[in-house]
Amino acid sequence: NAGVTQTPKFQVLKTGQSMTLQCAQDMNHNSMYWYRQDPGMGLRLIYYSASEGTTDKGEVPNGYNVSRLNKREFSLRLESAAPSQTSVYFCASSALAGRSSYEQYFGPGTRLTVT
Amino acid sequence: SQQGEEDPQALSIQEGENATMNCSYKTSINNLQWYRQNSGRGLVHLILIRSNEREKHSGRLRVTLDTSKKSSSLLITASRAADTASYFCATDEKDKIIFGKGTRLHILP
């Protein structure tokens, strides 16, 4: 039982390049989330998927797209990376959404630098 | 959107002492959660307290919730070096949760 896995762990991009961050969970959770964390900040929600087949914007969705590929996998795509997207990205999952009465399980993070 | 806000931003205490951190939020909630983040790692869930609960314990952790003051506190008793981490409160909003900016706790040997 690996929990939540993310790939890659580190990535350096040049401005304008694109990439996809992968996330998978093996806990049969319905809900999945993408956050970014910047120094001195909490986690800011980028996009989430309350259940398979649905996705919704969070606080900071601009410059990102997501795909809930199946129940296990939720990917985050940067179409044209910008230096402002330099951050640590975390994927999380929870059993259910619905007023979030369920704990979230986090992946180890992807450290992305855009030059 | 509402957001929990932790206080203090940073806290240094001697090993063995108790550590208290607080969280304030703006609108009504169904529950409040506390998470820990060790340096360079993802967040780990510590405890969830529902709006109809006033206090909850888990090992050396004690969480209180005062919905009239829209605040919560996390007490870590008999602190250890391994408790050095950032601690975040998270409040619910529709079908997602919103994290505060965290309290950085440093346990001195």
| Per-residue b or e along B23-59, where b marks 16 or more CB atoms closer than 10 Å to that residue's CB | bbbeeebebbbbbbbeeeebbebbbbbeeeeeeeeee
**List of residues 6+ apart from A17 with CB closer than 8 A:** A80, A81
A15-19, B2-6, B9-13, B75-79: range with lowest mean pLDDT: B2-6
Closest CA of chain B from A106, distance in Å: 5
DSSP state for residue B81 in the 8-state scheme: G
Q: Can you give the pLDDT at residue A101?
A: 64
Tell which residue, B45, B30, B87, B86, has the closest CA to residue A92: B45
Lookup: tokens for A109: 């993070």
Mutate to test the interface with B, among A104, A105, A110, A111 (most CBs of B within 10 A): A104
Task: Estimate to the nearest angstrom the gap between the alpha carbon of A76 and the chain centroid.
Answer: 6
Percentage of chain B with pLDDT > 70?
96
Flag whether pLDDT at A4 surpasses 90. Answer: yes
CB–CB contact B94 A99 (8 Å): yes
CB–CB contact A43 B43 (8 Å): yes
CB–CB contact B98 A45 (8 Å): yes
| pLDDT tier, A3 (very low <50, low <70, confident <90, very high otherwise) | very high
Flag whether pLDDT at B106 surpasses 80. Answer: yes
pLDDT digit string, tens, across residues A78-96: 999 999 999 999 999 998 7
**Which of A31, A98, A106 shows the shortest C-beta gap to B42?**
A106
Q: Can you give the pLDDT at residue A102?
A: 80
Residues of B within 8 A of A106 (CB-CB) are: 42-44
| pLDDT tier, A98 (very low <50, low <70, confident <90, very high otherwise) | low
**Which of B3, B31, B93 shows the shortest C-beta gap to A101?**
B31
